[in-house]
Amino acid sequence: MPAPRHPKDALFAGEKPFPVIPACEHFAGSEKLITKALDLQERLGAVFDITCDCEDGAETGREKAHAEMIVGLLHSPANRFAMAGARIHDYTHPHWKKDVDILVGGAGAVIAYVTIPKCTSVDQAAEMIAYIQAVAKKKKAKREIPVHVLVETHGALHDAWDIAKLPSVQVLDFGLMDFVSGHHGAIHASAMRSPGQFEHPLVARGKAEVVAAALAHGVVPAHNVSLDLKNAYNVFRDAYRARHDFGFLRMWSIHPSQIAPIVDAMKPDLNEVATAAAILLDAQQANWGPIQFDGELHDRATYRYFWELLQKARITGVKLPDEAARAFFD
C-alpha cells in the first residue's frame, strides 16, 4: 500500500507555495539591540524574525561599518535559527548598492531576507531586486534572496499589485508613519495610532489595498508597528485588528515587549486548529477525496484552508495534536 500523500504534494502540486514565515518581524538597529533580539529569539524560539536595520540604524558616515557589523552577527552562533534579515537604505541613498554588496555578498547564505524601503514605483523595486539577485548570483549564494518591499509612498501604493508579482517578493509591508506623513497634513497625526490608523478612510484604503495585492500574488502582507511601548494589551489589540479586520498575516515589532502580544494575536483559534488537524488526517486517509466530518462535506477547497491554518499554528508556537504533528511535520 502506498504511503499517504503529504498535503503540500496532494493539494498544491505545481503551484507557488505560500510563504510560511513568522507572524512577527522585530526591528533592531544597533549592535546591542540586534544581539538582544537574537538572545530573545533563543529563549522564545523561532516565532519571530529579526530585521537588522541599516536605513535608520546606521550613523551617517558609518554605513559601511554598520552593514559589516550585521554580517558578523548573521554569521555568529547567536543567529541559530537563521531568521534574521536586513533593511537596506532606500533608492535615493548613495549607499544602497553598497549595503547589498556587503550584506548579500557577505551573508547571502544565511540572510533571511532583504527589505527595501520607500519605493516609489514598480520599476524602482524591480531594479533594486535585480541588483540584489545579481549580487547573490555573483557571490554564489545558491538561492534567490527573499525580498520584502515597504509600501509607504503614493507611488508604491499605486503600483502595489505590480510590485507584489515581481520575482523574489515574499512580503509587502505597510509603512504607516511615512504613508501618513506623505499626505502633507491631510491625514491627522491621530491616524498614526489607534483607533485612527484603522478608521481613517485613506489609511484603511491603503492597508486594504496592500493586503489584497499581496494575497492575490502569494505574498505575505505585513502590518506596521504599534507606537505603544508600554501597554501590551494595546499592542495585542492592534495586532488582532490588523489580522481580523484587514487580513494582515504578520506585524512589525519595535520593542521586545511587543513580540509576545503580536504573536498571540496572530495565532489561529485553538479549537479551529484541533478541527483542522482532525479533518486533514481523515482526508489523508481518503487520499484527499471528499469526506464528511461532523455532518459537513469537505474537499480540496477546505483542505487547503486547513493546511495553511495548521502551518500558521505551528509557526506561531501552537502545540499541534500529536497525531497531526507526526503525520505532517516529522
Tell me: the pLDDT tens digits for 138-161? 999 889 999 999 999 999 999 999
Query: Looking at the predicted structure, is the pLDDT value of residue 1 above 60?
Result: no
Domain 24-266 has CATH 3.10.20.880: no
- For the chain, domain boundaries: 24-266, 269-329
Residue 90 in 3-state DSSP?
Answer: coil
Residue 4 banded pLDDT, cuts 50, 70, 90: confident
- Amino acid 296: pLDDT: 96
| Residues with Cβ within 8 Å of residue 297, at least 6 apart in sequence | 290, 291
The pLDDT mean for the chain works out to 96
Query: Looking at the predicted structure, is the pLDDT value of residue 246 above 90?
Result: yes
Residue 129 banded pLDDT, cuts 50, 70, 90: very high
Query: Looking at the predicted structure, is the pLDDT value of residue 205 above 80?
Result: yes
Query: Looking at the predicted structure, is the pLDDT value of residue 59 above 90?
Result: no
For residues 148 and 223, give the distance between their C-alpha atoms in angstroms, rounded to a whole number.
Answer: 12
For residues 310 and 12, give the distance between their C-alpha atoms in angstroms, rounded to a whole number.
Answer: 15
For residues 109 and 75, give the distance between their C-alpha atoms in angstroms, rounded to a whole number.
Answer: 9
- Amino acid 15: pLDDT: 81
pTM for the full predicted model: 0.94
